[in-house]
Amino acid sequence: MMQGHEGKADKWEVRVSSLPREYTVEEFTEDYADYIASELDKDWRDDLFSWSLKWIGSGLCFVGGLFLIFGPSTIMVSTFSGPNFFQIFQLYPAPIVSVGGIIFGVHKWISQSKVPMTPEAYLLHYYSVLGPDDTELNERVDVRHVGEDIFYISCI
């Protein structure tokens, strides 16, 4: 029931005649496996950047939290030279925890975008579900992946 297998530039088509019903989408399993393999084979620099953000953010949260909880109640700062590196952590523990949390949040946002699509989401993103009169039904159908190339498509 699939038409057009030219590439991702054109949406592939799944033609449905009646709903709800199971439909076989030819070559879906191979295409989805290629997609998963390409998602898992991302550039190592992306992982290194994400890993760096994770540890920098966690470290800032941890150190800032320790100073927030166990820090001194008074700090002596030289008026001539100003605070040193250690005293900055003592003076501003809450903003340091906040910056660490923001950096860790950026890491989570980057990592979350790497989660591959489910088979249902992949089908609705790269395939057009067309009704008998050639109207696109992607936004009006519910899709469940039954197995292999078989999908159960029903109206919402």
- Is 108 found in the same domain as 59? yes
- Is 85 found in the same domain as 142? no
CA distance 19 to 152: 9
- Is 60 found in the same domain as 48? yes
- Is 48 found in the same domain as 36? no
C-alpha dihedral over 29, 33, 39, 42, to 10 degrees? Answer: -160
- Is 136 found in the same domain as 94? no
The proportion of the chain whose per-residue pLDDT surpasses 70, expressed as a percent, equals 88
- Is 140 found in the same domain as 103? no
Structure tokens, 127: 């395939």
- Is 32 found in the same domain as 62? no
- How many domains is the chain partitioned into structurally? 2
- Is 48 found in the same domain as 105? yes
pLDDT digits (tens, 9 = 90+) for 65-116: 999 999 998 999 999 999 999 999 999 999 999 999 999 999 988 877 667 8
Q: Characterise 7 by phi-psi region: left (phi > 0), alpha (psi -120 to 50), beta (else).
A: left
- Is 64 found in the same domain as 36? no
- 35 and 12 in contact (C-beta within 8 Å)? no
Q: Which domain holds residue 102?
A: 44-112
- 62 and 89 in contact (C-beta within 8 Å)? no
- Is 50 found in the same domain as 102? yes
The proportion of the chain whose per-residue pLDDT surpasses 90, expressed as a percent, equals 44
pLDDT digits (tens, 9 = 90+) for 4-26: 434 444 678 888 888 888 988 88
- Is 73 found in the same domain as 49? yes
